[in-house]
């Protein structure tokens, strides 16, 4: 059984993951409005991944006899100057999510909740990957500067990204 403190923290994380999904959906729409179909695709897949992250937390809470309490999702931005601004905000946001996951890990350690700590390990690894991906795209966008052909090439590369079901959901089915 989860402690009330852990259950509340996991419910807050579900809300944070849904907010992240909403943010990335907004970025996808903004990129599409700018004619950046590849960037829009990248963020649309990111939107799905964040929904999946919330679902993983939901499934975990329910499997431990916890109660899911959905909360309102705060507004997100809807305008960015360019793709670089979107990915810079993505990196900053993912760093914040990393800190939230680390906070959950600290609560699990404090509560001696080994099962939750074990589930959170997947998210720790996922956050390393999320930050690295954003950082790599930022580096590429900075490298090309105002080169529109370079942007076209990066956009084409981002269009090739495909959705993959996260392993905790693939094994839950």
Please give the C-alpha separations between residue 25 and each of 19, 42, 59, 62, 67, in angstroms, as whole numbers.
10, 10, 23, 27, 27
- Which residues 6+ apart lie within 8 Å of 87 measured at CB? 134, 137, 138, 141
Specify the pTM: 0.94
Residue 173: the pLDDT is 47
What the block records as the tokens of 10 is 């996991």
Question: Is residue 23 within 8 Å of residue 86, measured between CB atoms?
Answer: no
Question: Is residue 44 within 8 Å of residue 77, measured between CB atoms?
Answer: no
The gap from C-alpha 37 to its chain's centroid, in whole angstroms, comes to 20
Residue 142: the pLDDT is 98
> What are the backbone angles phi and psi of residue 124, rounded to the nearest 5°?
-60, -50
CATH superfamily of 4-167: Ferritin, core subunit, four-helix bundle (1.20.1260.10)
pLDDT tens digits for 128-160? Answer: 999 999 999 999 999 999 999 999 999 999 999
**Cα–Cα distance for residue pair 113/106, rounded to 1 Å:** 10
Residue 170: the pLDDT is 80
In which band, very low, low, confident or very high, does the pLDDT at 1 lie, cut at 50, 70 and 90?
A: confident
pLDDT tens digits for 68-112? Answer: 999 999 999 999 999 999 999 999 999 999 999 999 999 999 999
Please give the C-alpha separations between residue 138 and each of 7, 28, 47, in angstroms, as whole numbers.
36, 16, 19
- Which residues 6+ apart lie within 8 Å of 62 measured at CB? 68
Q: What is the mean pLDDT of residues 36-48?
A: 98
């Amino acid at each position: 059984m989860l402690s009330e403190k852990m259950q509340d923290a996991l419910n807050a994380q579900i809300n944070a993951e849904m907010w992240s999904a909403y943010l990335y959906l907004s970025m996808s729409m903004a990129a599409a409005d700018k004619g950046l179909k590849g960037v829009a695709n990248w963020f649309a897949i990111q939107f799905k991944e964040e929904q999946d992250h919330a679902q993983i937390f939901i499934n975990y809470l329910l499997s431990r006899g916890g109660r899911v309490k959905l909360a309102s999702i705060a507004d997100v931005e809807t305008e960015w100057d360019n793709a670089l601004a979107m990915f810079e905000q993505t990196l900053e946001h993912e760093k914040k999510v990393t800190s939230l996951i680390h906070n959950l890990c600290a609560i699990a350690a404090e509560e001696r909740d080994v099962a939750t700590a074990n589930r959170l390990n997947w998210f720790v690894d996922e956050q390393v990957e999320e930050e690295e991906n954003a950082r790599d795209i930022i580096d590429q966008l900075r490298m090309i500067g105002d080169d529109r052909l370079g942007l076209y090439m990066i956009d084409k590369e981002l269009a090739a990204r495909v959705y993959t079901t996260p392993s905790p959901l693939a094994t839950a089915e």
